[in-house]
Every structure is written in C-alpha cells, then in structure tokens.
Amino acid sequence: MSVTRSRSQAMATAEHSTAILCFSHLRWDFVFQRPQHLLTRATRDYDVWYFEEPVLQAPSFNSSLQVKVDSSGVRVVTPLLAGDMGPQDLARTQRQLVKELVARIPNATRIAWYYTPMALTYTEDLTFDACVYDNMDELSTFAGAPAEMLDKEGMLFARADVVFTGGHSLYESKRGRHHNIHPFPSSIDAHHFGKARVYAGPDANDQQHIPRPRIGFFGVIDERLDLHLLKRIAELRPSWQLVMIGPVAKIDERTLPRLPNIHWLGAKRYAELPHYLAGWDVGLMPFARNEATKFISPTKTPEFLAAGVPVVCTSIADVIRPYGEMGLVEIADDPGTFVEKIELVSQRPRHSWLGKVDNHLGSTSWDLTWQSMDALLRRATGPVDSYLAQAAE
C-alpha cells in the first residue's frame, strides 16, 4: 500500500529521512523532461539528490562536487574534475567524491535511482537500501554510447529492486530480464501545455516575424531526427514555415538544413513552450527510423495534444500505439505523405478531435505516474516502507 507523508511530517522525523540519490546522464538544466517531472514530485516525500555527469575543468584543477539546490528542492550535484586525468583516474576521483558525499547524508535510508547503467562505474561499491532503474531510453543505441553499456546494464538489472521503462515497446524488449518491471510511457502536465489553447497575448518575440502557416517541433535536435525528411517537407511546401525549437546535441550544426522557411530558434525554457505552441498550426515529429528511435516514447506527443496542436509523426512504435491507432496523431514516413497528412490535420475540424484528445489525456498525468511509481518502490523496499508507514501515522 502506498503511504505518503507531508513535508511537515518529514521535518518532524528528520532524525531518519529517506533520500533518493539519482544518477543520470542528463543535465538537470538541459531539457525539462522525464527525470525532472518525476523527481520534482519526489521532493514532496524524499530528499532528492541528482548526480549529473562530470564537467571537465582546467588541468590540475582541485576536483570537487558542486551542489546547487533547484527551486523544486532537488539538490543538483555536478562533479568538477581536472581535465588532464585519464579515464581510470576520472572514475576513481568521481567514485571517491560521491562516496564522501553519500556518507555525509545523515541518518538516511538511501535509495539509488539510476537513469544510466554507466553510473555503476563510480557507484558499484556503494551500499543502498533499495535500487531503482528507470530505463527511459535504450541508451546503448544512441550515438557515442560506451561499448560496455550493455554489460553495465546487466549488472544494474541484477541490483535493481524495481525497474521502470519509458514506454511499452521498451518494456516488451526488457520484460524477461527482471521479475519486477513495469512500463511507464511519457505522461503529461495537461494544465501547463493547455495554456497554449487559451493564450491571447502577443506572439513570442523571435516568432513574431515568421508568417503562417507554422509547422513546429520542440525537443532535443540530435541523431534521432530525420533532417533529410525535414528538408524535403520545406522544399515541397516553400510557403510553410518550419519552426524548430531545441538545443542541438551530438550532431554538427553545419548538417542542419538551411532554407528560408526553416527557422532554428534554439533552446527555450519549459515555461515558455506553451507560448510558442499557441502560435503553431501543426506539430511536426520527423523522427528518423533507426536504432536510436526504435524504443523511444516521445514526451512531446501528449504535450502537443494537450496544447491543442494537431501533430504528424513518423512511424514510431510508441506513437502508433496508442496515439495513431486512436486517431489522435497522423503517421507518415515519406515526404509526400507527410505533406498530405499535414494538410489533412490543418483542415480537419478541431472540436471532435479535441474531445477525443481530452478523453485520452484525462486518464494520465505526471502526478499519477509518480504516485504509481512511488507505490511500486515502497512495495519493493520492505524496511523502507515500514519506516515510511510509521512516519505517516
């Protein structure tokens, strides 16, 4: 049974708190996505420490951990390491720094929460009261993935008390590898993105000059995008304006197609996104069909829908099911079909479609996702659950 405790109760029982120590491959301030949605909610009942990957400094730098407290209460820990150290020295130094910090967390029940198996490189000798693997992506297929990723993942499966996956296709791929594994596809903060439906203020400054119709994308711009498809859409419909929002990662910016009707606006804050989406006519999800996208469950799918923006996506399994099958998202892979689908959704009456969208999105939220994960975590942790039950009485 899931047991929660208020912040006041947590303060009253400060002599024995429960800490989640999250080890991630993603920068906390890079893009607000799954880890941020879940762990900001976790701060209601846990002390949350979020360990980022190292930032290399000048040679001979006195290596240390930088700890910043996010507005949500999450403590973001960034290893600052000397840039002239070799891989073994970097791992050893990071291991020692993390070990010392963990030892200073007073009287805490410690739960390890992993987003990357590679974090075992510097945490495998640490002892935790419970272990969670939130397998949000198949990282071994991403560009630049370390050769030992799969071996480390095998170790992590052996250690984990409970495993979550970022979508149903990833769950089907991994379900035989753990006895306590559960799918949690991308969820939604419908209130936040719903602001785009009712926004009546001025357009975003760097979008004001872009004429309509606007076909938009937001998210990380990396090897998972089909840049050739994007270019062909722009060429087939030069009067359409393709608005691309997001940071560029792991690819050379010089490979981005540069046409008069493709607008690269860069990264935006999570709080700004509804403002931009309010000025779009159709959403664009031109994912490549490759190993890196085989198991993805794009968070932006329900976000587009909550914003009331019709969307066309390539044939990504976790978009086809359920969104494509329910008629909420149109699916297309080649440029010609993609253009046809954009024309279709731009002309389709919105009222009945929005009714189906809201009916579907009403059954999910990041709050509900976190509550379900938390219940499974508490059920799997035994002594931790017993303590939390006592604290809530």
Q: What's the confidence (pLDDT) of residue 5?
A: 34
Q: Which amino acid is at 375?
A: A
The phi, psi pair for 311, rounded to 5°, reads -135, 145
- Residue 254, pLDDT above cutoff 90: yes
Element (H, E) at 110: strand 108-114
Across the strands, what pairs with 22? 50, 113
The two domains 7-187+365-392 and 190-361 share their CATH topology (first three levels equal): yes
Closest CA to 118 of 149, 92, 91: 149
Q: Where are the domains of the chain?
A: 7-187+365-392, 190-361
Is 50 exceeded by the pLDDT of residue 15? no
How far apart are the C-alpha atoms of 219 and 233, rounded to whole Å?
19
Q: How far is Cα 264 from Cα 49, in angstroms, rounded to an integer? A: 34
What CA–CA distances, in Å, run from 12 to 16, 44, 71, 236, 316? Answer: 10, 14, 22, 64, 48
190-361: what CATH class? Answer: alpha beta
Q: Which CATH class for the 7-187+365-392 domain? A: alpha beta
The pLDDT of residue 319 is 97
| Rounded Cα–Cα distance for residues 385 and 391 (Å) | 10
Which tens digits make up the pLDDT trace of 270-300?
Answer: 999 999 999 999 999 999 999 889 999 999 9
220-242 average pLDDT score: 97
Band of pLDDT at residue 267, cut at 50, 70 and 90: very high
Dihedral (Cα; 165, 167, 169, 171), 10-degree rounding:
20
Q: Give 135-170 pLDDT, tens digit per residue.
A: 999 999 888 888 899 999 999 999 999 999 999 999
What's the pLDDT score for residue 87? 87
Tokens representing 245 are 């929002």
For range 199-216, the mean pLDDT:
96
pLDDT of residue 387 exceeding 70? no
Check the CA dihedral 219-21-117-61 and report its sign: positive
Residues 332-351, mean pLDDT to the nearest whole number: 96
pLDDT of 383 reads 53
Model confidence at 2: pLDDT above 70: no
Q: What is the dihedral of CA 283, 288, 291, 297, to 10 degrees?
A: 0
pLDDT in tens, 353-363: 999 999 999 99
Record the pTM.
Answer: 0.90
| pLDDT at residue number 17 | 85
The one-letter amino acid at 48? V
Interhelix angle 335-347/227-236, rounded to 10 degrees, is: 60
